Amino acid sequence: MKLERLVPWFVGILALIGASVTLLPPGKVRGFDVAAFGHLPVLEGGRVKPIDSVGRNALLVIRGQQSFRHEDRTVGPDEWLLDLMFRPDLAAQEPAFVINDPDVLGLLGVPLSSNRYYPFSLLAPHVEELQRQATAAEPIDARQRTRFQSAVLNLYERMQLYWRLSNTVQIAAGPPLVADIANAANPQWKPRQDALAQWASFRPLAPPAGTVGDAGWHSVGEALRRASTGSTEPGLVSWAKIGLAWAAQDAANFDRAVGDLRAASAAARPDASAQAAHEWIFNRAQPFYAGMVIYVLALLLVFASWAWKPALLRPAAFALLVAGTVVHTAGLVSRVILQGRPPVTNLYSSAVFVGWAVVVLGVILERIYRKGFGTAVAAATGFATLIVAHHLASDGDTMEMMRAVLDSNFWLGTHVVTITIGYAGTFLAGALAIGWTFREQLARRLDPATSKAIVAMTYGIICFALFFSFLGTVLGGIWADQSWGRFWGWDPKENGALLIVLWNAIILHARWGGYVKERGIMAMAIFGNVITSLSWFGVNMLGVGLHSYGFMDKAFWALSAFVATQLALMALALAPRRFWSAARPAAAEAGPVERAGDPVRPSRA
Amino acid sequence: MSDPFRKAEMAVWDAITSLKLTIACLAALMVLVVACTLAQVNLGTLAAVSTYMRSPFVWWQVPQSTVSIPVFPGGALVGMVLAVNLLAAQLKRLELSWKKAGLWIVHAGLILLVAGEFVTSLYQVDDRLAIEEGQTANFVESAREAELSVVDTTDAAVDDVYGIPTTRLARGGDVPIAGTPLTIRVRRFLPNAAVSRGGAPSGATMGVGASVSVQALPVSTVDDIPNEPAAVIEPMAGGRSYGAWLVSPLLGAPQSFVHEGRTYVLSLRQRREYLPYAITLKKFRHDVYPGTDIPKNFSSLVHISNPGRSEERDVLIYMNQPLRYEGKTFYQASFGKNDTLSVLQVVANPGWLLPYISCVLVTGGLLVHFAVSLRRGMRRTDEAAAVPAALEA
């Protein structure tokens, strides 16, 4: 008995330890302290971040993954970026580009095969043709482009990013940075300085000590121009040394130069160094990936508990859910601190937050009802939303700077968070209803008390969702009144939010009027998933309205498939039970409500 | 009173107050919202909203005819029915008790919200103020509506401005201008037109219009493509005509004629509303995040000069921080001319405060109601939980 009580604690703590293993300091890569290099703070996309983030996001955009296998070892983002900047000929042989479109492959003269990853050297001979095709596709409205046009434009943009990265610290073709520093005052070298200033994809040189703000960050080109007037920034020399050491594969000098540069930037701008170090840990820990894994394990354990040793496994599954929540929360809090913003700032973070809110609500429900059902639904939804978030992250930096109209922590913290909690509530109600449907239709033994408890949970969550979606919608209106001069403009995103409010209100009124019973409420709750997904993602695909910062078109088929499954589940929820189970003909006709009131069901006693 | 009559009365009352009507209205509203959202892709927001939301019915034009038939209740009708249903049901069904206090507050807030949307659709006026650094303006312009302006510029110090809205021009006929001896005869009016050299004459006999032609264009309903109206008008005064003039925002310089020593300038331009105060743009700023094109902030530093209130002060208008002044709200909307021109959106909406009050009421009401329900529900759950526990024991 005592031991059984310890099992959940053991499982939960084991999961947390597993998640934090990633925080151990990584070893050297082939003798190079690549991790120290990854810590270096740079300015990119308007904010300070570790160069590790630049490499990761770039590789994510270009290849769709944060690392890859090449010549029988795993190449990480920092090592890849170093190769790209200082050994460009070698980097050109690494399979950094993902190309899926058969027509684009045809353009490159590559036969279709199972291989989807190609090196830059394959693309290089076709640059002019790709540029021609991309230039032709660019002026066409994004919604009107053919699949080939979108694909070729996308490939060309990724090539541009690749090319800019390789020309940020030094010019890829020609002498290294040391030569540029030595000839800084020579007017013949000025075009190279201008090129470096123009092409730089990030600014690697920290502002001098005592400055505040990010305006003082310099590109290498700008620093060379200043060097031509006699003031060589110390960071410039360190970068040149890093480049030389990596090109010569000289680990000792590489580590020393990186160490010098890190110490110098930490002394000049401790705030930037601390920020970069924090984000480096966040990058390495990948809390949302760890959370995803823990949620799957929790889900599997709940399933197992329904078949075997429920008293032992159900609490263990709950412990895993809690451990997943802890990891998920840590990631969310980390993002909030890193960005200095409320948790939801873009579609990606809204998915992370929806998952988090659902899981927290699930933990609360499970504490109240203790049926294992809350754990299952929360773990499944948490996993699903983190998968969605994972796919939304492929656009690169998920902590991009907020455009002027969104630059308001007050409104991001009130309207955006509230409406996202409303999404989460509606999804949780839908997920509970789906779980209820499976249970009703597939379970061998009916347990009316549990069934009733699930209906009660769903009802409570719908009330919760109505409250938050209404409050969020009206707060959005008030924000619109503050920034665009009208409370309500029937903008697609506003309409989407309104639909959620209306639908939840309809469910509650239909229930209060007695027009729907258990089955009806559950089917309606599942339809809530359809409405929420359409208002969350669907309206962004219309490409009209003022909320265009969240525009996306890639997920159209995924969204359609989701809607189709929800409609199928609604049909399943409404299908009479006798369709599925011949075992209990009597139970089919009697409504669950009546059964719940039946005192003569002592089967569990 | 006869029995059947009473019965019918009761039936109507039941129908008006029924929960089914509420649900039907909410469902109809959902259909309208979906239709309005999808229609925006082709129609633009303004047209979609007026088709589905601001009209009592959604009309369907029978193909190859001019006949339109109503096919669905529009947003205005549904909103009205919903408000009546809410009020009536509130009076009939919900008893005055603490248990129901939350719902009372919620529904009062909702009625206020619907009322606010009606007030907005009836009374909201959207204007713009485009102003360059160093310039002063004492009027706001409509973004979509034009007017024929007749300005008496005889007095060098003060202009007398008279405006005739295009809606009046569209009706044609003679339009006397009060306060002047002038009458404007409308010869021709095009709500959207193109002007070109050559082709059929425009019908004007005077000014630049005599040598150009105008072609009618289909009326644009898309928000970002404005209409360019054109009109041929004939000013008449003291029994004589001053010729037919073509006016349009597409023509460059204003045209003028002299009647009894007074000079009148004619132009068709965006409808203006003059303000009893003047606004000067001192500085416009457009900040970006370092190393990117991502806008960080737009702001306009303006000076308000209001002799009526002997007020002279500077105000900074920036994103999410509008200026509310004398019933108008000035928002940072756009910019141009290499960051020296600032465009402010100017909105007058007497009902702007209603949604704020409604928000507080509904939120508070829902909180009260759910708190009351939760307490009741908890009590029930405790009782229910006692039974299985007893069984398992």
Over residues A10-37, the pLDDT tens digits come to: 889 999 998 888 888 888 888 899 999 9
pLDDT band at residue A603 using 50, 70 and 90 as cut-offs = very low
Residue A600 has what pLDDT? Answer: 34
pLDDT band at residue A591 using 50, 70 and 90 as cut-offs = very low
Whole domain around residue B168: which residue ranges? 140-273
A47 contacts in chain B (CB < 8 Å): 289
| A331/A325 Cα distance (integer angstroms) | 10
Does the beta-carbon distance from A215 to B290 stay under 8 Å? yes
Nearest chain B residue (CA) to A44:
B291
pLDDT tens for B127-162 read 889 999 999 999 998 877 888 888 888 887 788 888
When divided into structural domains, chain B yields a total of 3
Kindly report which listed range (A85-99, A336-350, B13-27, B216-230) carries the lowest average pLDDT score. B216-230
pLDDT band at residue A605 using 50, 70 and 90 as cut-offs = very low
Residue A56 has what pLDDT? Answer: 92
Residue B294 has what pLDDT? Answer: 83
Nearest chain B residue (CA) to A412:
B320
Residue A545 has what pLDDT? Answer: 58
**Does B386 have pLDDT greater than 80?**
no
Residue B392 has what pLDDT? Answer: 40
| B129/B139 Cα distance (integer angstroms) | 8
| A468/A448 Cα distance (integer angstroms) | 30
A492 contacts in chain B (CB < 8 Å): 37, 40
Does the beta-carbon distance from A470 to B362 stay under 8 Å? yes
Nearest chain A residue (CA) to B367:
A467
Does the beta-carbon distance from B38 to A515 stay under 8 Å? no
B122 contacts in chain A (CB < 8 Å): none
| B271/B141 Cα distance (integer angstroms) | 6
Facing residue for A490 by CB, picked from B45, B289, B292: B45
A503 contacts in chain B (CB < 8 Å): 30
Nearest chain A residue (CA) to B116:
A487
- Pick the residue of A203, A218, A539, A544 with the most B CBs within 10 A to test the interface with B by mutation: A544
Does the beta-carbon distance from B23 to A515 stay under 8 Å? yes
Same domain, B102 and B15: yes
List, in sequence order, every beta strand (DSSP E) within B47-191: 57-61, 68-73, 125-132, 136-152, 160-165, 173-176, 182-190
pLDDT band at residue B393 using 50, 70 and 90 as cut-offs = very low
pLDDT band at residue A100 using 50, 70 and 90 as cut-offs = confident
Q: How many CB pairs under 8 A join A and B?
A: 171
Facing residue for A43 by CB, picked from B291, B297, B320: B291
CA distance A592 to chain B (A): 17
CA A458, chain centre distance (Å)? 28
Between these two residues, A127 and A554, which has the higher pLDDT value? A127
Most confident region among A83-87, A537-541, B224-228 by mean pLDDT: A83-87
A49 contacts in chain B (CB < 8 Å): none
Let me know if A239 is exposed, middle or buried by CB neighbors in 10 A (0-12, 13-18, 19+): buried
Average pLDDT over residues A398-418: 83
A510 contacts in chain B (CB < 8 Å): 23
Contact assessment for residue B270 and residue B146, using Cβ atoms and an 8 Å cutoff: yes
Helix axis angle, A234-248 relative to A77-86, nearest 10°? 100
**Does A586 have pLDDT greater than 70?**
no
Average pLDDT over residues A285-313: 90
> pTM of the full predicted structure?
0.85
- Pick the residue of A490, A499, A548 with the most B CBs within 10 A to test the interface with B by mutation: A490
Does the beta-carbon distance from A506 to B373 stay under 8 Å? no
Q: How far apart are the first and last CA of chain B?
A: 65
Identify the H or E element spanning B346.
strand B341-348
| B321/B305 Cα distance (integer angstroms) | 20
**Does B198 have pLDDT greater than 80?**
no
Residue A320 has what pLDDT? Answer: 94
Same domain, B267 and B333: no
Average pLDDT over residues B161-176: 86
CATH architecture, domain defined by A414-593 = Up-down Bundle (1.20)
pLDDT tens for A198-224 read 899 999 998 888 788 888 888 999 888
Average pLDDT over chain A, rounded to an integer: 86
Does the beta-carbon distance from B359 to A202 stay under 8 Å? no
Does the beta-carbon distance from B40 to A492 stay under 8 Å? yes
B372 contacts in chain A (CB < 8 Å): none
- Pick the residue of A48, A212, A407, A503 with the most B CBs within 10 A to test the interface with B by mutation: A407
Same domain, B290 and B337: yes
Same domain, B209 and B322: no
Where a domain ends, among B217, B244, B273? B273
- Pick the residue of A409, A475, A495 with the most B CBs within 10 A to test the interface with B by mutation: A495
Where does residue B263 fall: left (phi above 0), alpha (psi -120 to 50 degrees), or beta otherwise?
beta
Domain boundaries, chain A: 34-271, 414-593
pLDDT band at residue A551 using 50, 70 and 90 as cut-offs = very low
Residue A364 has what pLDDT? Answer: 92
CA distances, A118 to each of A94, A98, A124, A194 (Å): 8, 6, 11, 31
| A94/B224 Cα distance (integer angstroms) | 47
Kindly report which listed range (A162-166, A229-233, A552-556) carries the lowest average pLDDT score. A552-556
Same domain, B36 and B54: yes
Same domain, B264 and B150: yes
Average pLDDT over residues B243-267: 85
Bridge partners (DSSP) of residue A211 are none
Contact assessment for residue B189 and residue B231, using Cβ atoms and an 8 Å cutoff: yes
**Does A500 have pLDDT greater than 90?**
yes
Average pLDDT over residues B296-309: 90
Residue A548 has what pLDDT? Answer: 47
| B227/B216 Cα distance (integer angstroms) | 11
Average pLDDT over residues A491-507: 91
- At a CB cut-off of 8 Å and minimum separation 6, what does A1 contact? none
Where does residue A370 fall: left (phi above 0), alpha (psi -120 to 50 degrees), or beta otherwise?
left
Residue A239 has what pLDDT? Answer: 93
Specify the pairing of strand B182-190 against strand B230-237.
antiparallel
Same domain, B313 and B217: no
Residue A53 has what pLDDT? Answer: 93
Q: What share of chain B is helix, strand, coil (3-state, %, to 5)?
A: 35, 40, 25
Does the beta-carbon distance from A483 to B391 stay under 8 Å? no
- DSSP, res B96: S
pLDDT tens for A36-47 read 999 999 999 888
CA distances, A465 to each of A420, A528, B277 (Å): 10, 10, 47
Same domain, B320 and B381: no
Two tokens, residue B43: 């129609």
| b/e sequence B137-161, b meaning 16+ C-beta within 10 Å | beebbbbebbbbbbbbeeeeeeeee
User: What ipTM does the predicted assembly reach?
Assistant: 0.82
Residue A547 has what pLDDT? Answer: 56
| b/e sequence B59-90, b meaning 16+ C-beta within 10 Å | eeeeeeeeeeeeeebbbbbbbbbbbebbebbb
Q: What angle do CA A508, A511, A515 make, to 5 degrees?
A: 135
Average pLDDT over residues A115-142: 88
Where a domain ends, among B348, B364, B383? B348
Where a domain ends, among B228, B251, B273? B273
Nearest chain B residue (CA) to A45:
B292
